[in-house]
Structure 1
Amino acid sequence: MKTKDMEKIFSDYIIENKEKYYRLAYSYVKNEEDALDIVQESIYKAISSLNTIQNPEYIKTWFYRIVINTSLDFLRKQKKVIITDDETLEFYSPGADDNYHDIDLQRALEDLPPNYRSIIVLRFFEDLKIEEIADVLELNVNTVKTRLYSALKKLRLSLEE
């Protein structure tokens, strides 16, 4: 397929689904500005490596994977920042956190390990099928099912407390 054709397919797909990718990034960073930065960086990375995609059918799972990896990279970089005083804290502040209506669910999701949280977000917030999640996360379908079951169990226990 021609590069121009693939660029058109990709740009149309991103425009149609930008809210999904924003929600996915937001589920990791919990901040509007950071989530927008992640989506923007993900689009840049995708455009830079668009020639690696052979089949337009794989754009969805391919781009989900890029957004997840970019989000995880962002979180790793954030952990390296060491805050010493209030001035430094204010300087490095990522901005105001957005508010969730269901704070218990938010906290329970934050307490899940990232590999479980990714599956919950992709399954219930992005409405992906188990097979699609397996493709995005490059996991076996049975592993996704097992982690989904375990994550739901952990969430249930956390919310019951």
Structure 2
Amino acid sequence: MKHNLLTVKKAVNGDGGALESLLVMEERMLYAKALSYVGNKEDALYVIQETAYRAFIGIKKLRNIDYFSTWLFRILIRECYTLLKKKGQMIPYDERELMIRLESKQDKPNHRPILEEALSQLKPSFRVVIILFYYHDLSISDIAVITDKPVGTIKTNLRRARKQLKIDLEGSDLVSETATY
């Protein structure tokens, strides 16, 4: 959202009312983003409250007033991940921890060992992207934030991982002759 730069400048200079008006303007988008991350209304409202607090405390650190919205959303995303981590719902991005969690799942279908074997053969960077994208239903941009890598790198790793998995699984019973990717 494009903001009045004068209002942002006032907020950076310590005007609480200016910051409040900026937060009110971003309210709907903050709520929608928080809800998409944490999954319920109460947690989303808590995250927005924490984001507003962090914004109030750190507004003087805003380097470029043109990027106020971006700055604010980065705070929101960090607060979402902090909350999810506290609740034990944070998705680990360390490949060993991801594999341990996958293996500990109780409801394994019959084809799971073949798929897990194929996953374990992938490069760690490919494995992490596949697991986060398919097992945890994260978007490419969310994976980029979690792994602290560019979106383009995530897309490339996902494409290469899919290609490698297709090659590895073609001989198994898991992939039929008519499957398309």
From 61, 64, 77, the counterpart of 1:52: 61
Deviations 1:55-111 (A, max 9, x none): 32121111111000000000000018xxxxxxxxxxxxxxxxxxxxxxxxxxx8872
Matched ranges for 1:42-121 at <5 A: 42-79=51-88, 111-113=136-138, 116=140, 118=142
Report Cα offsets for 1:115-158 as digits up to 9, x if no partner.
Answer: 73626xxxxxxxxxxxxxx8x88966xx213425739x98xxxx
- Amino acid of the residue matched to residue 55 of structure 1? N
User: In 2 relative to 1, CA 40–117 (structure 1 residues): closer, same or farther, beyond 3 Å?
Assistant: same
Partner of 2:151: 144
In terms of Rg, which structure is larger? 2
RMSD: 3.6
TM-score, length-scaled by structure 2: 0.47
Query: Matched residues in 2 for 1:75 and 1:60: separation?
Result: 22
* 8 A Cα contact 1:65 1:137, kept in partner: no
* Change beyond 3 A, Cα 1:109–1:26: farther
Task: List runs of 5+ in structure 1 lacking aligned partners.
Answer: 81-107, 120-133, 155-159
Q: In structure 1, what is the Cα distance between the partners aligned to 2:23 and 2:84? A: 23
Secondary structure (helix, strand or coil) at the match of 1:50 reads helix
Cα distance change of structure 1 residues 137 and 10 upon mapping to structure 2, 3 Å threshold: farther
Gaps of 5+ in 2: 1-8, 90-132, 163-179
How many aligned residue pairs are there?
A: 108
* Equivalent-residue separation in structure 2 for 1:117 and 1:72 (angstroms): 14
User: How many angstroms apart in 1 are the aligned matches of 2:61 and 2:73?
Assistant: 15
Q: CA deviation at 1:10?
A: 3.3
Partner of 1:88: none
Find the counterpart in structure 2 of residue 11 from structure 1: 20
Could you state the TM-score of these two structures normalised by the residue count of structure 1? 0.53
Deviation at 1:54, TM superposition (A): 3.2
**Whole-angstrom distance in 1 between the partners of 2:134 and 2:22:** 28
